[in-house]
């Protein structure tokens, strides 16, 4: 775990991975326009496969040429194998593929399973749980040919992961040098599909760590109570859920989220107007009204927005799901893949939606899910969802080390208890602690560390707890871990004081100093060796971000001579040797350097006397310096001045 890793970054920066393909030496322009249009979208990252590689495209994204894979004269087998490997990796990488366009020859080869090109290799190995948006590109004569109709019918009937949209058709005009004239009005349609997929992937990113409300098992419990609307407003405002407030018809002081708007984004586009009306209907009306609104959709409306998908899952609108499955399968396709199980498990915990997904005829024999569902439920503290996957789903639990790591980082003790109990009762549930101790340490979850220590479950990375706690300023974790492991078994190295110096965690530095002096509770004066090197501390001070004065002052007040060089600079030292002095007088720090360079040897005898009284001369001797040396004398002047011992009065 790097110093910049944060639990809140996990899963939040996931972008839609878009693979754009174009066949035909003169048909790259549409792919280029699409990539350029999407290049500034922070939710999308793209790569491309094209026949004709143009400079403008390569300046924007990673582009690979669609070369033939047949081994011809001059070709090497290693080169062909390289492209096959690249095709394999692209299939794993991509979330969505857009062919804009795919010519008639490539469509025919795709349906026949021919893999004589790089793009053909990708299409042949494509994961059918991921979608492909296909824009056919051919002449008007080819489009009207019966073979094209046969190919399209096969795609509609059997290849349901491929969505065919408005084709790019071309013809020739002019003489004696005819010019090819393409015609396509489906650019915005493709753009909308891609953006909707990106929004769908991002659903739940705004969900914060669940509170204990999501962890209690209240199945079968019905509470009969009435509260004044003013109390509900306070509750919902505290929860920060604007959508729930609107759905319940309660007044709220919360601002409207940026994903919502009071007016259609394009009042002149009938589809955008209807989409806007549908979103507000789903938010504010009952299931019957929502189904009626869906039945009134324009013939060209084939994609429900990510907002609608979110609300259907979040509010458990089972009747709406059933209506779309039975009457609007084109809209219901939006819930294909891992959408329902993942969103209903991790971000909007709804066991009833999971039940529908398991029992629906649409998903029969093709329940697609991955580790994100269970990992996310653990991260956000959804014990009932975890129980659904284990006891009621009838499906194997898929999860990674992230499940216990993120539960530990978020302090979900009930989730940890659930995993321990499930593993004790079911041999198929294998505990994977991973870096749980480090996640708990980084986020100051001292209770979680106590839980892991008491659980008896082997957990790795315990040797790094002290270092990670020092980096993130977690004093309570340091103290908890010391008490759990004992003073003599606390593991750390000579670099342990470097991170708190860089990040100015003075409370951590104080803790290590007290630990070295044996002054922490229960140590009874038993000192511990805490190593450091002056050179490392000076480098840490140079790397420190922002104002260094506070941490530099801490080291100076605790007796570190930052002016050492040569072998003394590299020598290993111990925190127990650091001397603590009283705080410097306010307003006098700016005169330290003036004193250092102006006093010379003028007050040598009085300085030595003052040093003996304060214990500073002992420090000078330990540093290997001679009081008769001008450098040693100036250093002593500096320390007397910094610690406020009254040099002006001597």
SS3 labels along 307-344: HHHHHHHHCCCHHHHHHHHHHCHHHHHHHCCCHHHHHH
Strands 162-164, 62-65: pairing is unpaired
Q: Is 367 helix (H, G, I), strand (E, B) or coil?
A: coil
Q: Which residues pair with 18 in a beta bridge?
A: 46, 96
Alpha-carbon gap, residue 433 to 7, rounded angstroms: 16
Tell me how crowded residue 16 is: count the other CB atoms within 10 A of its CB.
Answer: 21
Q: Token pair of 235, please?
A: 């509750």
Q: List, for the chain, all residue ranges whose pLDDT scores fall below the cut of 70.
A: 1-13, 25, 71-75, 205-225, 561-650
pLDDT tens string 583-636: 343 333 333 333 333 334 444 455 555 555 544 544 444 444 444 454 444 444
Helices 306-314 and 187-201 pack at an angle, to 10 degrees, of 30
Assess whether the previous peptide bond of 101 is cis (omega < 30° from 0): yes
What phi and psi, each to the nearest 5 degrees, are found at residue 446?
Answer: -65, -35
Which tokens belong to 380? 């956000």
Name the DSSP class of 139. Answer: E
pLDDT of residue 648: 39
| Per-residue pLDDT at 53 | 87
pLDDT at 177: 82
* Continuous segment of H or E residues that includes residue 619: helix 616-622
CA distance 184 to 169: 7
* pLDDT of 163: 93
Q: Which residues pair with 46 in a beta bridge?
A: 18
Domain at 10-201: CATH code: 3.40.50.1950
How far apart are alpha carbons 476 and 471 in whole angstroms? Answer: 13
Instruction: Give 85-136 pLDDT, tens digit per residue.
Output: 999 999 999 999 999 999 999 999 999 999 999 999 999 999 998 999 999 9
- Predicted local confidence at residue 515, as pLDDT: 94
Residue 129 pLDDT: 86
CB proximity list for 1: less than 8 A, separation 6 or greater: 435, 438, 439, 442, 468
For residue 478, give the DSSP letter.
H
User: CB within 8 A of 471, min separation 6: which ones?
Assistant: 3, 442, 499, 500, 503
pLDDT at 250: 92
In the chain, domain spans: 10-201, 461-580, 585-650
In this prediction, residue 605 carries a pLDDT of 53
How much is the pTM?
A: 0.76
Q: What is the largest CA-CA distance in the chain?
A: 109
546 three-state secondary structure: coil
Reported as type and span, the H/E element at residue 17 is strand 16-22
3-state DSSP assignment of residue 63: strand
The pLDDT value given to residue 77: 72
Q: Residue 248: helix, strand or coil by DSSP?
A: coil
Res 337: pLDDT: 87
CA nearest neighbour of 304 among 327, 326, 335: 335
pLDDT at 639: 46
- Say if CB 357 and CB 367 are below 8 A apart: yes
Can you tell me the distance from the alpha carbon of 488 to that of 17, in angstroms, rounded to the nearest whole number? 50
Rounded to an integer, what distance in angstroms lies between the CA atom of residue 55 and that of residue 162? 30
Residue 106's closest CA among 150, 169, 62, 151? 151
Closest among 321, 319, 311 to 241, alpha carbons compared:
311
Tokens coding 419: 């995993």
Query: Exposed e or buried b for every residue in 189-199, given b needs 16+ CB within 10 A?
Result: bbeebbbbbbb
Could you give the CA distance from residue 2 to residue 442 in angstroms, rounded to a whole number? 11
């Amino acid at each position: 775990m790097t110093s910049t890793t944060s639990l809140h970054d996990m899963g939040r920066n996931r972008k839609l991975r878009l693979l754009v393909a174009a066949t035909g030496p003169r048909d790259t322009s549409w792919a280029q326009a699409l990539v350029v249009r999407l290049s500034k979208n922070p939710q999308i990252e793209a790569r491309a496969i094209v026949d004709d590689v143009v400079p403008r495209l390569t300046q924007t994204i990673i582009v690979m040429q669609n070369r033939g894979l047949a081994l011809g004269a001059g070709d090497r087998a290693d080169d062909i194998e390289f492209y096959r490997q690249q095709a394999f990796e692209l299939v794993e990488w991509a979330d969505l593929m857009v062919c804009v366009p795919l010519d008639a020859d490539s469509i025919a080869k795709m349906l026949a399973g021919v893999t004589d090109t790089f793009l053909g290799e990708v299409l042949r190995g494509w994961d059918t749980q991921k979608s492909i948006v296909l824009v056919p590109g051919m002449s008007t004569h080819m489009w009207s040919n019966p073979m094209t109709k046969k190919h399209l019918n096969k795609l509609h009937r059997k290849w349901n992961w491929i969505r065919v949209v408005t084709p790019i058709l071309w013809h020739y005009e002019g003489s004696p040098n005819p010019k090819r004239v393409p015609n396509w009005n489906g650019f915005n349609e493709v753009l909308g599909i891609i953006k909707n997929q990106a929004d769908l992937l991002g659903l739940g990113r705004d969900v914060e760590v669940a509170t204990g409300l999501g962890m209690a098992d209240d199945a079968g419990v019905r509470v009969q109570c009435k509260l004044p609307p003013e109390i509900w407003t306070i509750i919902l405002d505290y929860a920060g859920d604007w959508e729930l407030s609107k759905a319940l018809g309660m007044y709220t002081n919360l601002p409207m989220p940026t994903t919502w708007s009071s007016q259609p984004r394009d009042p002149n586009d009938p589809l955008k107007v209807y989409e806007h009306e549908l979103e507000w209907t789903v938010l504010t009306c009952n299931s019957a009204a929502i189904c009626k609104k869906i039945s009134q959709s324009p013939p060209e409306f084939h994609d429900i927005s990510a907002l609608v998908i979110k609300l259907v899952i979040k509010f458990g609108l089972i009747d709406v799901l059933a209506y779309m499955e039975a009457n609007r399968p084109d809209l219901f396709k939006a819930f294909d893949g891992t959408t329902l199980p993942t969103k209903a498990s991790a971000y909007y915990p709804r066991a009833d939606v999971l039940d529908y997904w398991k029992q629906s005829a649409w998903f029969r024999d093709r329940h697609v899910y991955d580790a994100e569902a269970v990992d996310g439920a653990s991260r956000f503290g959804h014990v009932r969802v975890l129980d659904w996957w284990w006891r009621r789903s009838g499906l194997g639990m898929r999860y990674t080390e992230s499940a216990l790591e993120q539960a530990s980082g978020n302090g979900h003790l009930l989730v940890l208890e659930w995993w321990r109990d499930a593993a004790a009762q079911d041999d198929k549930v294998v505990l994977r602690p991973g870096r749980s101790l480090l996640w708990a340490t980084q986020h100051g979850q001292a209770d979680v560390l106590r839980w892991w220590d008491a659980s008896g479950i082997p957990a790795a990375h315990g040797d790094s707890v002290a270092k990670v706690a020092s980096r993130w300023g977690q004093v309570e974790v340091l103290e908890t871990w010391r008490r759990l492991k004992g003073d003599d078994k606390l593991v750390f190295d000579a670099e342990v004081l470097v991170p708190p110096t860089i990040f100015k965690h003075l409370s951590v530095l104080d803790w290590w100093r007290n630990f070295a002096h044996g002054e922490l509770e229960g140590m009874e004066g038993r000192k511990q060796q805490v190593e450091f090197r002056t050179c490392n501390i000076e480098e840490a001070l140079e790397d420190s971000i922002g104002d260094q004065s506070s941490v530099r002052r801490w080291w100076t007040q605790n007796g570190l001579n930052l002016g050492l060089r040569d072998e003394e600079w590299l020598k290993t030292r111990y925190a127990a040797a650091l001397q603590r002095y009283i705080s410097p007088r306010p307003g006098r720090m700016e005169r330290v350097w003036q004193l250092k360079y102006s006093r010379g040897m003028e007050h040598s005898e009085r300085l030595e006397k003052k040093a003996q009284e304060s214990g500073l001369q002992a420090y000078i001797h330990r540093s290997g310096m001679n009081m008769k040396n001008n450098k040693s004398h100036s250093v002593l002047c500096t320390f007397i001045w910094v610690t406020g011992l009254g040099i002006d009065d001597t």
